[in-house]
Chain A
Amino acid sequence: MTNRIHPLLILMTILVYIFLLGPLIIIFGASVSDTTFLAFPPQGLTLHWFENIWEISAFRRTIVTSLQVAFLGTFFALLIGIPAAYALNRHRIHLPGWLSTLFVLPILVPEIVIGFSLLRSVNVGLGAPVFATLLIGHTLLVLPYVVRVISASLASFDFSIEEAAISLGSHPVKSFFTIVLPNIRSGVIAAFILAFITSINDVSVSLFLTGPGISTLPIQILAHVEQFFDPTVASVSVLLMGLTIIVMVIVERTLGLTIVAK
């Protein structure tokens, strides 16, 4: 089959892939450069900029906040998203069609509008603390991914097994935890990972929901780039790429990477 593709098309594909990966390699090079400004190719090699991440307290704080928000937001999204996905698959005929649309709304509404609206209504309007509002924003942001991935793995689950357990006297709640949940385990792991990476990388929702003392890593990166054009941001970026690689390996081991494209 391969030989039927026009050589020019193959050349173009190679160029597209160079375009895709080149800039990431450039970041890697800039992160180890021995200069006080961003340079590629690196002039001399140093790991100083990686140390610098931990020396700048703002980065330390925002990394901690980002991890907290990503873990908690994903946890809450799983807590409300798994039952919702279960209901949508198990009781679909008894539920109106718009309900499944409702759970993808956070993807349809522009993220930046969600962030601004939460600032107006929840943070300023209701007087909720910044961290709580940020957490609410991230839970909403990742909810569609959770519902979608869990629904995808429930779609291939045979509910008659669960019904058999219930008809043999097992409590529905117990049946869910002992029969349904173990069967969709890989879906839960994939949903967790996708949600976590989405949350860690988010800018637009977090943009309005950060305040004095509370910020997330991508927002801090934006602020740092504006003030200092030094390689620290390149080394933070390399750390984030390392995280992405770890995530890809885990996703590949659990559900296969095709889940990302869905």
Chain B
Amino acid sequence: MKTLAGWILSSPATLAVSLFLIIPVAATISVTFTAPGGTFAPYVDFFSSGFQRTVLWRTFEIAAITTVISLILGLLTAYVVSRSAPWMKSVLIVLAVFPLLTGVVVRSFAWLIILGRNGVLNNSLEWLGVIERPLSLLYTQTSVVLALIYIFIPLMILVLIGVLENIPDDLLQASASLGASPTRTFVQVVLPLATPGLIVGAVLVFTASFTSYATPHLLGGTRQMTMGTFLHQRAMTSFDWTSASTVAAIMVVVIVTTVLVMTRLAKRLNPMAS
């Protein structure tokens, strides 16, 4: 009876996910294997084009740099926040949640105002006399990475505050009373205990930047295409759905592999488990 009730109650959601997610995505991936020209023809096509290899590599690079920088800045910031006085901590958390809840389009758009030809940065540099003519700061890999770091740092900070708060204060006090300097305590006590959380944060930021659309679209344009903007261009400008499906399939493989490998790594590196 109980089993039946459980199944009945969860069936509408199960049905929705199966019908509108699993089947459509499986169909998208399967067309890449039944395309005319052979089973792997779309993949051979994809990887034989230098341009498309560049897009894939660039997306990797952008996501990796974004992840590493967000990880470092996020960890240090989260450490300070988690050690702050309670009222200060609440204020800092609220200030990190606010950008997180503000949409990606709005936050990417902010960087258009800052990095544009007549943007805040160019105007300030001209006013200071550092440059004479405005620099082209937009539509570069740097502008995309900068905006993505901006988008994902709040997420990283919030994930890591949660992780650092779970580290018992006694451990840090024990370390200090045994004579370790704050830096040594951080490296030898905090860092190992935070590793599983750092991996979770890294996976979240990497997968989200790898699959992002709005930020590379606004700040990278067609000059700095990533897998997301390329998928859209293939589907809606070239109307080449087989090619778009191939891009989609590669994205799914990259994301699923990353998540599986990293969650396994997180389990293995968890000092609490051993």
Contacts and interface: CB of A to CB of B under 8 A. Distances in A.
Interface of A: 1-2, 4-6, 9-10, 12-13, 16-17, 19-21, 23-24, 26-27, 30, 37-40, 79-81, 83-84, 86-88, 90-91, 94-95, 99, 102-103, 105-106, 108-114, 116-122, 125, 136-137, 139-140, 143, 147, 197, 200-201, 203-204, 207-208, 218, 221-222, 225, 229, 233-234, 237, 240-241, 244-245, 247-248, 252, 257-258, 260-262
User: Majority SS of interface residues in chain B?
Assistant: helix
A91 B111 CA distance: 48
A248 B154 CA distance: 15
Contact of A221 (B105, B114, B232): B105
A87 B101 CA distance: 29
A78 B217 CA distance: 32
B13 A81 contact: yes
21 contacts: A9-B79, A16-B157, A38-B118, A81-B13, A83-B10, A105-B21, A110-B207, A112-B211, A112-B251, A113-B28, A113-B251, A114-B24, A116-B244, A118-B20, A121-B23, A121-B24, A121-B27, A208-B232, A244-B98, A260-B101, A261-B93
A181 to B, nearest CB: 14
A233 B213 CA distance: 18
B228 A118 contact: no
Nearest to A11: B80
Nearest to B162: A261
B80 A10 contact: yes
Contacts of A143: 13, 16-17
Among B12, B97, B218, B259, the most chain A Cβ lie within 10 Å of the Cβ of: B97
Contact of A40 (B100, B102, B113, B212): B113
B104 interface: yes
B179 to A, nearest CB: 14
Given A4-B182, A257-B94, A80 B12 contact: yes
B80 A114 contact: no
Interface string B11-43: 011101100111111011000000000000000
Nearest to B116: A38
Interface stretch (B81-89, B128-136, B187-195, B265-273): B81-89
Given A110-B255, A203-B213, A116 B102 contact: no
A23 B107 contact: yes
Contacts of B213: 112, 203-204, 207
A229 B117 CA distance: 12
Contact of A140 (B20, B95, B105, B109): B20
B113 A27 contact: yes
B44 interface: no
Which 7 residue pairs across A and B have the least CB separation, nearest first?
Answer: A201-B103, A91-B6, A23-B110, A110-B211, A121-B24, A117-B24, A87-B9
Nearest to A83: B9
Given A20-B154, A99-B10, A136-B20, A108 B79 contact: no
A42 to B, nearest CB: 11
